[in-house]
Chain A
Amino acid sequence: MSLLRDPVAWATELTRPEAWVLASSGAFVAVLVGAVAIGALGPTYFLFLVGLAGMYALLSLGLNAQWGFTGLINFSVAAFFGVGAYGSALLTADASPIAGGFSPIAGLVVGLFVALVLALLIGIPTLRLRADYLAIASLGLAEVIRLVVLNERWLTNGSAGLRGIPSFFAGWPVLSSFPETMPGLRITVVPGSPVVLETPFWEAALNVVVIVAFTLGTYAVLRRVHQSPWGRVLRTIRSDEDLARALGKHTYAFKMQSFVLGSLIMALAGVFYTHLNLYVGPGDLDPITTFYVWVAVILGGSGSNRGALFGGITVVTIREGTRFLNDLAIPVDPAPLRLLLIGVLILVVMRYRPQGILPPQRELIWPAARRSTAPATPPQAGDRTQRTTGPTESADKSDADAAAGVTDDGIEDTTGGERDE
């Protein structure tokens, strides 16, 4: 049901977790905007946080395309992210030890290409094997990439990292000089603490535009492919690979495609990070990044793109919140505190809600099929309605058991349902 066409029906159709997530996200954003308005939170920092949240959401979408869709355990998210970041930084930075000074678009292409090669290299030996082999090998890959970045000074500048990176729109008409040409604004909401918007703010605003475009584009693509026959084969592989093989699917090829797709999305997030942070160092390849993204995906709901978006934002809250906590009240080193929070979150989610907060439900169902059984329309007799009734009905239940059931139903329907197309 579309939000714009029929908001009331859309609202009543929300499941309880959906309503809860929507309300709490809304409240959270309202608090942050309020903090900006009264001057407690710098507007530029706020936009930096938005960019970071978008970046984690993008990383989570990438991991979701691997783990959520196909069940591939990738523990080298940080490596693909780092390859994207370093690929684009090495090409665009003034201080780059190899090339440098190219357009950010060239950096984007190179970053994605290196990630593609890397994904193939690690996928070829492991994707034919049981799922845990990929987990082990990818953890190793992440470590090796980190070692290379740290030690090959001629290539990556070693532990000093790379500086002098231009913004993403460097060399574009209009947009490259947009932050400088925008006038400085002073907005006084609360007397005495005006909100000042100057060049850094407009730079941050441009970054937000980039990440929103990346994330929404990726979301749209993933949503489409997830519902496509290709996506349904992936879901079948996830729940029963033997079944997919028995149906004549070349599961190795499907797994490889899904793995490469997810890795490219992670590298895209890395490219964005380069132009957001304007500095890339070996610390960015720390394995903790990988597990931030894992928490985001399993918390949001494995296989659910909306969940990945929600999880990404939650993770930024943890990451930046611990820093804030340290500045504000409790003098605890934030590094182990984050580690503890991430660890406890993994344990709690796996124990009490392994399917995540927003498990994939209606998003698995083809929109046309959903419309034909929506309560507003009288049910029509017909082959198509008959076939799609089962999953839709159970999808509308909000409790966890139904959610788990839906996945199974959906998959049974889809594997048989190749005939739909």
Chain B
Amino acid sequence: MTVLGYVANGLVFSSIIVLGSIGLSLVYSIADFANFAHGDTMTVGAYAALVTFGAVGSLGGAVLGLPYGFFLALFIGVAAGAAVAVVTERLIYEPLSVDSIGLLITSIGVAFVYRAVIQIGFGADFTRFEIGALRPIEWLIPYGIRVTRHDVAIVASAVVLVVGLHLLLQYTDLGRKMRAMADNPTLARVSGIRTRRIRYWTWVIGAGLAAAGGVFLGLFNQLSPRMGFNLLLVIFAAVILGGIGSVYGAMLGGFLIGMINQLTPLLSRLGEVLPLVPDGFGIPIGIEYANAIAFVIMVAVLLARPTGIAGEEAV
């Protein structure tokens, strides 16, 4: 594959990572803890979509190679992710009388319950959506880009969701309240903002975006009960790179981490790709270490600039 081909793949993968990291960062800044169940929320969304798609079928027509039924399944998956998150907030997090560290530990328990239920229901094996694989788009192949129309649909949907979130945060009443609460929850509360309701909305948006990311991940790769948990490290790396608590930082961090993740094969032949670098030069590292690179970036960010690109105080 050419450099352009890897970049195109990176674009698709980073759309998924961006969807995951935005939700994590939102919950981090408003509910005020690192939610280790976020990856498994993605899994919940993906499996809810899988069940729906299996039930409704393709429903006639198709957009970008995806049947209408898939978009309905996507919608149901997002709704299921949001609903599960709100129920979890109501039943588990809200009645707790522990600090944010206690919530963090609790979220591990939540993650395990999600994953265990899915694994009991669907088994530990990989599955796929029942959508025939497409051939890569013909006119892009000469450039070395092998993307399908499904990949285009993933990127387009992610862009729509991210722009939608941006408009919501900047121009709606709810968005202003959310930003106020992320800034200073006590001040938001005394100003008359119903902080509890805003927390619920945060969960709806954060988990909904994560669930969408999970559905797309299932379309891009395949589904398994561990799919979300395995991605958690990459998403956390994205959030730390962007800066904990900053939604726009998370978008940028998610984009960069997703891109680097898919560009890993290029590292071993840097010399051929980059100008000014001797031809034989390369960092000998296999694609199996793509997640490890995210970790190395995370540690480097923590050493050099713990606030990330746009985050709050880290100490």
A, B co-complexed: yes
Interface residues of A (CB under 8 A from B): 71, 73, 122, 124-126, 128-133, 135-137, 139-141, 143-144, 147-148, 150-151, 287, 291, 294, 298, 332-333, 335-337, 339-340, 342-347, 350-351, 354
CB distance from A15 to the nearest CB of B (A): 22
Residue of A nearest to B101 (CB): A131
Are B105 and A350 in contact, CB atoms less than 8 angstroms apart? yes
Q: How far is the CA of A397 from the CA of B29 in the complex (A)?
A: 39
Are A139 and B288 in contact, CB atoms less than 8 angstroms apart? no
Q: How far is the CA of A150 from the CA of B289 in the complex (A)?
A: 11
Among A124, A139, A147, A347, chain B packs the most CB atoms within 10 A around the CB of: A347
Are B302 and A132 in contact, CB atoms less than 8 angstroms apart? no
Query: CB within 8 A of A132: which of B33, B119, B124, B292?
Result: B33
8 residue pairs bridging A and B, Cβ less than 8 Å apart: A133-B306, A291-B112, A335-B119, A343-B108, A343-B112, A346-B108, A350-B106, A350-B109
Are A343 and B110 in contact, CB atoms less than 8 angstroms apart? yes
Query: CB within 8 A of A130: which of B110, B117, B314?
Result: B314
Residues of B within 8 A of A128 (CB): 306, 315
Query: CB within 8 A of B302: which of A125, A150, A336, A354?
Result: A125
- Is residue B100 within 8 Å, beta carbon to beta carbon, of the partner chain? yes
Are B236 and A136 in contact, CB atoms less than 8 angstroms apart? yes
A73-B104, A133-B306, A354-B98 known; A347 vs B116 contact (CB < 8 Å): no
Q: How far is the CA of A347 from the CA of B295 in the complex (A)?
A: 28
Are B233 and A73 in contact, CB atoms less than 8 angstroms apart? no
A133-B302, A139-B232, A141-B295 known; A294 vs B116 contact (CB < 8 Å): no
Q: How far is the CA of A126 from the CA of B299 in the complex (A)?
A: 8
- Is residue B50 within 8 Å, beta carbon to beta carbon, of the partner chain? no
Residues of A within 8 A of B116 (CB): 336-337, 339-340, 343
Q: How far is the CA of A141 from the CA of B225 in the complex (A)?
A: 22
Are A339 and B233 in contact, CB atoms less than 8 angstroms apart? no
Q: How far is the CA of A133 from the CA of B233 in the complex (A)?
A: 12
Further pairs besides A139-B36, A347-B92: 7, Cβ < 8 Å:
A125-B302, A143-B233, A335-B119, A339-B115, A339-B119, A343-B113, A346-B109
Among A130, A148, A294, A298, chain B packs the most CB atoms within 10 A around the CB of: A130
A135-B34, A291-B112, A340-B113 known; A298 vs B92 contact (CB < 8 Å): no
- Is residue B237 within 8 Å, beta carbon to beta carbon, of the partner chain? yes
A132-B100, A133-B302 known; A344 vs B117 contact (CB < 8 Å): no
Residues of B within 8 A of A126 (CB): 302
Residues of B within 8 A of A140 (CB): 233, 236-237, 294-295, 298-299
Residues of A within 8 A of B298 (CB): 136-137, 140
Are A345 and B109 in contact, CB atoms less than 8 angstroms apart? yes
- Is residue B240 within 8 Å, beta carbon to beta carbon, of the partner chain? yes
Q: How far is the CA of A137 from the CA of B241 in the complex (A)?
A: 12
The 9 closest A-B pairs by CB, nearest first: A346-B109, A343-B112, A340-B116, A336-B119, A343-B113, A339-B116, A140-B295, A125-B302, A347-B109
Are B34 and A339 in contact, CB atoms less than 8 angstroms apart? no
Q: How far is the CA of A273 from the CA of B242 in the complex (A)?
A: 40
CB distance from B41 to the nearest CB of A (A): 14
Q: How far is the CA of A129 from the CA of B101 in the complex (A)?
A: 14
- Is residue B286 within 8 Å, beta carbon to beta carbon, of the partner chain? yes
CB distance from A243 to the nearest CB of B (A): 15
Are B102 and A350 in contact, CB atoms less than 8 angstroms apart? yes
- Is residue B263 within 8 Å, beta carbon to beta carbon, of the partner chain? no
A135-B34, A147-B292, A335-B124 known; A71 vs B236 contact (CB < 8 Å): no
Among A73, A128, A135, A350, chain B packs the most CB atoms within 10 A around the CB of: A350
- Is residue B191 within 8 Å, beta carbon to beta carbon, of the partner chain? no
Are B124 and A147 in contact, CB atoms less than 8 angstroms apart? no
A340-B116, A350-B102 known; A147 vs B289 contact (CB < 8 Å): yes
Complex interface residues of chain B between 292 and 308 (CB less than 8 A to chain A): 292, 294-295, 298-299, 302-303, 306
Q: How far is the CA of A82 from the CA of B115 in the complex (A)?
A: 24
